[in-house]
A and B are shown apart, each in its own frame.
Chain A
């Protein structure tokens, strides 16, 4: 167990062979069963958040070319004069990507918040 706040490191030289940083957490770094469970649950939650962001992306990027490969006639469909592929790839995709990223950040930060609260509860004597 380390006491006191973690050391602040002032970097004044080039990092050539960095020595590993001192352990920053106690319960977790002692690798107790409890610490392992906490870490495992954090990793699992973060991977789930990642999957929720990546699956729609994979669906979009994997599905769209296949769709137009199988039904090339779709490329001629127009909405207000704009061909469908242009609408999707020239415009709508960007808000889509931003929303995926934004919701991921919210989810990931909430996971970390939960983790921090759990650690605090565990640490309390």
Chain B
């Protein structure tokens, strides 16, 4: 479909791409060491870091997906943004400070430091790459969709542009410059969604404020649309609970989320950063449901996946609508860029350390080579794989993360008894369980009967299964508990200030 005038949309996309590259280049001035590339030398303050986390985390699924899902399926889809925010609360409470204090760069680093096992490290590296690519896929697909809806470009072009900008940016500056880029992109995304939403709300009030819950255009009867449950009785209840488990527990296992925590100066800052993130995410997630609700009055349920992009034009005629649409397009584009950048950095970090790093290439060169691999593979897959739907593919990535890294992190941080064999067994069970759901989703589209429901949303059984496996196998292999586990626990849980203040004082 070619919209009436695509010029504002093109200008918006070009501006975002240029601004992203410009800020990235500016950040390059501060990037000198390998540590800058990987973790911005661990010196990012909470306010900046929280904006960057928000910018990185709010992906295409948040920006475009939520509104469309709410329009099409109703209030049960509100659990997605709630879960994506609550995931940070769980992360804050169980993982944030100890993870930062562990002193590791990446999830595989943490696993190896905690369990002293190269094999667990290798398994974690594989998982980071798998989850990262699974999450990159819908970002690239969404970019294609957005470019098509906004400026009538062919789908592959959007994916290509996003992949190219991300690659240039990550190659040039690494984590240090990406931090600035992503902090900028959080505020860009918030503005790009909030300003049109306010205008649309005024238009809606001018129209007499028809209640979206009473509109009968889409998503079934009013009571069904308002019900915060999946349809189908107990199956719907299961789907809702499974979604809650996947999003609440999956956040901590996403590679691009975790890598951000190493950029905090210390454990206390990691916690404070996370609280600010909770506020920023809560602020943002108030808006997409507004689009979903207005879409029920004004929009077209058959085009729900591009609702956010089309609603301004549908509600505001003429130039005003075009400009608002351009603003939303810019925000959507920022969403793809920032999330893809974060994921690419996380995946590239692991590839460069665990695959290329053993060869001759030095730190920064290895990181650059790895970036190319990390971006090109999912970009090619995007062109080949079937269109899963942005939110669904992201949901699967969450399910895999919740079934693998969540048990590893939670047990590794809070339970001394975890062993390498137990961790490996739990990771394998969690991956096979949730991965079968991914394979099923890729292979088929029917969703009837309990078997299909259980596979489509595996988290509610695969997460407990992974936890149980890790605990039971660890108990059975108790002799393999690492000898220095107590020391590691001290490092994870004691405030840095104790060690820093104490040295001089005990001498005096």
Contacts and interface: CB of A to CB of B under 8 A. Distances in A.
Interface of A: 1-6, 11-16, 18, 20-21, 23-26, 28-29, 31, 39, 42-43, 46-47, 49-50, 53-54, 57, 61-62, 64-66, 68-69, 72-73, 75-76, 78, 81-86, 88-91, 93-95, 97-98, 100-102, 104-105, 108-109, 112-113, 115-116, 119-120, 123
A93 B500 contact: no
Nearest to A64: B228
B89 A18 contact: no
The 4 closest A-B pairs by CB, nearest first: A94-B282, A89-B78, A24-B499, A83-B226
B37 to A, nearest CB: 9
Interface in B218-238: 222-223, 226-229, 234, 236-237
Nearest to B34: A14
A72 to B, nearest CB: 6
Interface stretch (B192-200, B266-274, B400-408): B266-274
Interface stretch (B151-159, B314-322, B336-344, B484-492): B484-492
B428 interface: no
A102 B93 CA distance: 10
A98 B85 CA distance: 9
Interface in B344-364: 352-353, 357-358, 363
Most chain B CB within a 10 A radius of its CB, from A39, A81, A101, A115: A101
B268 A109 contact: yes
Interface in B472-508: 484, 486-487, 489-491, 493-495, 497-507
Given A69-B237, A75-B228, A86-B78, A14 B353 contact: yes
Contact of A25 (B112, B289, B499, B504): B499
B486 A31 contact: yes
Interface string B98-120: 00000111000100110000000
Contacts of A26: 502, 506
Given A14-B38, A65-B240, A85-B75, A50 B93 contact: yes
Contacts of A112: 268, 494-495, 497
B352 A14 contact: yes
A67 B320 CA distance: 44
Given A14-B363, A18-B104, A105-B92, A98 B279 contact: yes
Given A28-B490, A89-B75, A90-B75, 8 more contacts: A21-B491, A39-B489, A39-B494, A57-B86, A61-B248, A72-B227, A112-B494, A123-B502
Nearest to B75: A85
Count chain A CB atoms within 10 A of each CB in B94, B357, B495 and give the residue with the most: B495
Given A4-B507, A12-B35, A101-B275, A119 B226 contact: no
Contact of B223 (A43, A49, A76, A98): A76
Given A54-B93, A116-B497, A105 B271 contact: yes
A87 to B, nearest CB: 10
B473 to A, nearest CB: 23
A65 B494 CA distance: 38
A22 B449 CA distance: 56
B112 to A, nearest CB: 8
Interface of B: 33-35, 38, 41, 75, 78-79, 82, 85-86, 88-90, 92-94, 97, 103-105, 109, 112-113, 211, 213, 222-223, 226-229, 234, 236-237, 240-241, 244, 248, 268, 271-272, 274-275, 278-279, 281-283, 285-286, 289, 293, 352-353, 357-358, 363, 366-367, 414, 484, 486-487, 489-491, 493-495, 497-507
Contacts of B286: 90-91, 94
Contacts of A29: 487, 490
B93 A53 contact: yes
Contact of A43 (B248, B493, B501): B493
12 contacts: A4-B503, A26-B502, A26-B506, A39-B494, A42-B493, A61-B248, A75-B227, A81-B213, A82-B213, A95-B282, A105-B271, A105-B272
Contacts of A88: 228
Contacts of A23: 487
B33 A12 contact: yes
Contacts of B494: 24-25, 28, 39, 42, 112, 115
A116 B493 CA distance: 12
A21 B236 CA distance: 49
A15 to B, nearest CB: 5
B491 A24 contact: yes
B33 A11 contact: yes
Contact of A50 (B94, B501, B503, B506): B94
A69 to B, nearest CB: 5
A104 B223 contact: no
Nearest to A69: B237
B86 A97 contact: yes
B306 to A, nearest CB: 21
Contacts of A66: 237
B503 A85 contact: no
A76 B224 CA distance: 9
Given A54-B93, A90-B78, A5 B503 contact: yes
Contact of B34 (A11, A72, A93): A11
Contact of A11 (B35, B88, B366, B484): B35
A108 B97 contact: yes
A122 B284 CA distance: 47
B226 A86 contact: yes
